Amino acid sequence: MHSTYGGIFPKIGNYVDLREFCERIPSKATMILSKASSLRPTLANELVLRSAMRWMSGAGGHAGHQPNPGLWQKVFLFVCIPAIGLSGLNTYLVEKEHHEHFSRPEFKPYEYMRIRTKPFPWGDGQRTLFHNPKVNPLPDGWEELPEDPHNKH
């Protein structure tokens, strides 16, 4: 009996045409099967092809590989959420410590920094769009900050 591809690939026993079979399996297995099909059809060759088909067949299904949404729900609740919470707590504590001892560095008017060839189209033209007077100096130096009533220093 000839295959749909003109009989180039022979049928082995009751199996489908090797070309159709190879299109459905991963490339590494395709290489193994193409090497095996180049051998003379022997009993060993047929056994190799049968075991490969059984190994790559997903029709059987195994009881141990059934979907288990309960497991992933527990992993999410008891692993992911605590990990996210602990990461957030760690970030908060590190940033709190950094904020307590933060001070602005001395301003040095380097020629190559804060060059303004034309004013910004907003505000007074000197401040960037997301200007923060605590960390962004103007071209001529730091701005004077009003006294913060919440700061206990």
Q: Which residues pair with 138 in a beta bridge?
A: 141
Same domain, 78 and 42: no
Are residues 48 and 83 located together in one domain of the fold?
A: no
Domain of residue 85: give its range: 69-100
Burial class (CB in 10 A: 0-12, 13-18, 19+), 65: exposed
Residues 11, 4: Cα–Cα separation, whole Å: 11
- Flag whether the pTM goes above 0.85: no
Each residue's pLDDT expressed in tens, for the chain with a length of 153 residues: 444 545 555 555 555 566 665 566 555 565 666 665 565 567 766 777 777 777 776 655 555 567 788 999 999 999 999 999 999 999 999 999 988 888 888 988 888 888 888 998 998 888 889 998 888 888 888 988 877 666 655
The domain total for the chain is 2
